[in-house]
């Protein structure tokens, strides 16, 4: 049997092959507290869209001035790569793929180490200046400049005598939108809102799910895993939060949620260090997706923040209905969305069937708190926000916007 024609695949590194932001976190832990928080500050400004990735990393690496190269290597070795990468890359090689790794957040000398272990053909990262085996704080390279990744990709394609139509790009965040050219097959992996809009296909969970897409196989039904069921059960259990708040008081419930969130955050930080808190870490292992297990699983914190904010801002019963709709509707949309597979044209990570299921269950959750017509309106608003690819996490937006809308509608009706 003849081999298929040579094709080319590009992987973003952070958020796809290794946990997002983990490298800066691991290196930052070797610094003093002030410098560590400066690193986090510049990273947050980039994530919020206030500064460019080039500006963020020039500042970050200036804070890393005088850090030893050996420290970078040690920190990078502590970062868990997804466990099935070796097998995945082997399967790509059998399909006659050339592979490139391009990173805008990790030095090339470390990306080369990862690329050598996986058999990548090209590796690009941040170029760092060294003196006496220490960082000088000076960085450069196409990978961090505006449209620099596109320049890298075009140079590789020219060198390989390939066309953009021969290329596949797998990425997760807006820094890669320049290489999401019209001709390439664009795959978003746990993507942000911009990549969700631009991607041809979206994958949440296992990176190995790119193989059926590459092979041109039709989308198949995905039955919920045990982790999915546990996670969505916990999510749906939030329905009882406004009921408990009504019985014992909103302040007590908010205080309890904040306390649990703090304990959870500390548990996650400990888990990244290989230490487990007996109960919370066990629940995390049962509920987190495969990719979340190798980084800081922040979704529960967004969930807690959205619920607390809604209870704080809006009066009962609007707040209760909004939280119930969010918890029940979002869980139903997630579970039913994998069983059926008609993707929304503006958000490839969502399906019509999942959104319809979410609407129905959101309505059922809402009628416990408000009249049916208000529940219908609230469910429609909640699911509209849930399916739109928006820049703010939907665990925050859905309950808050639904709560605001219901508060307004109730005031009009009354």
CATH number, position 114: 3.40.50.1000
Specify whether 176 is located in the same domain as 39.
yes
DSSP result, 216-279:
TPPP---PPPHHHHHHHHHHHGGGHHHHHHHHH-HHHHHHHHHHHHHHHHHHHHHHHTT---HH
Distance (Å) of CA 201 to CA 93, 100, 210, 253, 321: 22, 20, 9, 40, 33
Res 57: pLDDT: 92
Q: Cα 374 to the chain's mean position, in Å?
A: 33
Tokens 């986090």 found at:
40
The reply to whether 1 falls in a domain is no
Q: Domain boundary at 214, 242, 257, which?
A: 214
Task: Spell out, as residue ranges, where the chain has pLDDT lower than 50.
Answer: 1-4
Res 387: pLDDT: 79
Contact 3, 39 (CB under 8 A): no
pLDDT for 257-280, tens place per residue? Answer: 999 989 888 887 777 777 777 777
Q: Helix, strand, or coil here: 96? A: coil
The reply to whether 66 falls in a domain is yes
Res 135: pLDDT: 92
Tokens describing residue 230: 């546990």
CA nearest neighbour of 411 among 342, 332, 314: 314
Q: What is the mean pLDDT of the chain?
A: 85
Q: Domain boundary at 194, 214, 234, which?
A: 214
List the beta bridge partners of residue 135: 130
Specify whether 199 is located in the same domain as 233.
no
Contact 110, 131 (CB under 8 A): no
List the beta bridge partners of residue 130: 135
The reply to whether 263 falls in a domain is yes
Res 227: pLDDT: 67
Give the total number of structural domains in the chain.
2
Torsions phi, psi of 5, nearest 5? -60, 150
Specify whether 187 is located in the same domain as 322.
no
Res 3: pLDDT: 44
Residue 275: asked if its preceding bond is cis (omega within 30°), the reply is no
Contact 179, 195 (CB under 8 A): no
Domain of residue 100, residue span: 7-214
Tokens 């298929």 found at:
4
Specify whether 71 is located in the same domain as 169.
yes
The reply to whether 147 falls in a domain is yes
Q: Domain boundary at 178, 194, 214, which?
A: 214
Tokens describing residue 92: 């790509």
Specify whether 140 is located in the same domain as 274.
no
CA nearest neighbour of 125 among 18, 252, 277: 18
Specify whether 196 is located in the same domain as 60.
yes
Specify whether 241 is located in the same domain as 198.
no
Q: What is the DSSP letter of 67?
A: -
The reply to whether 2 falls in a domain is no
């Amino acid at each position: 049997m003849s081999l298929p024609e040579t094709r080319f695949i590009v992987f973003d590194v952070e958020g796809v092959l290794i946990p997002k932001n983990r490298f800066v976190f691991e290196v930052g832990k070797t610094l003093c507290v002030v410098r560590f928080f400066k690193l986090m500050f510049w990273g947050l400004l980039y994530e919020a869209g206030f500064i460019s990735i080039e500006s963020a990393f020039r500042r970050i690496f200036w804070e890393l001035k005088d850090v030893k190269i050996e420290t970078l290597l040690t920190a990078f070795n502590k970062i868990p790569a997804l466990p099935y990468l070796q097998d995945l890359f082997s399967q790509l090689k059998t399909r006659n793929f050339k592979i490139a790794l391009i990173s805008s957040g990790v030095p090339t000398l470390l990306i080369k180490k990862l690329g050598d272990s996986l058999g990548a053909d090209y590796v690009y990262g941040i170029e760092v200046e060294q003196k006496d085996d220490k960082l000088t704080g000076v960085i450069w390279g196409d990978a961090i400049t505006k449209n620099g990744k596109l320049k890298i990709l075009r140079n590789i394609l020219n060198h390989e005598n390939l066309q953009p139509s021969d290329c596949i790009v797998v990425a997760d965040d807006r820094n890669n939108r320049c290489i999401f050219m019209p001709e390439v097959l664009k795959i978003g992996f746990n993507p942000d809102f911009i990549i969700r809009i631009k991607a041809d296909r979206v994958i949440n969970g296992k990176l190995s799910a790119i193989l059926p897409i590459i092979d041109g196989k039709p989308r198949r039904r995905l039955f919920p895993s045990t982790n999915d069921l546990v996670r969505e059960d916990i999510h749906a259990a939030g329905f009882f939060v406004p009921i408990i708040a009504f019985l014992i008081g909103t302040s007590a419930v908010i205080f309890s949620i904040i306390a649990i969130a703090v304990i959870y955050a500390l548990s996650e930080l400990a888990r990244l260090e290989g230490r487990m808190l007996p109960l919370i870490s066990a629940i995390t292992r049962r509920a987190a997706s495969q990719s979340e297990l190798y980084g800081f699983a922040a979704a529960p914190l967004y969930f807690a923040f959205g619920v607390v904010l809604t209870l704080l801002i809006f009066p009962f019963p609007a707040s209760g209905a909004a939280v119930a709709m969010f918890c029940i509707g979002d869980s139903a949309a997630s579970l039913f969305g994998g069983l059926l597979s008609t993707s929304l044209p503006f958000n490839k990570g969502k399906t019509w069937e999942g959104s319809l299921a979410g609407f129905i269950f959101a309505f059922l959750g809402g009628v416990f708190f408000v009249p049916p017509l208000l529940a219908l309106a609230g469910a429609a608003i909640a699911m509209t926000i849930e399916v739109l690819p928006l820049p703010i996490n939907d665990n925050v937006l859905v309950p808050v916007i639904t709560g605001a809308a219901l508060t307004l509608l109730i005031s009009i009706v009354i």
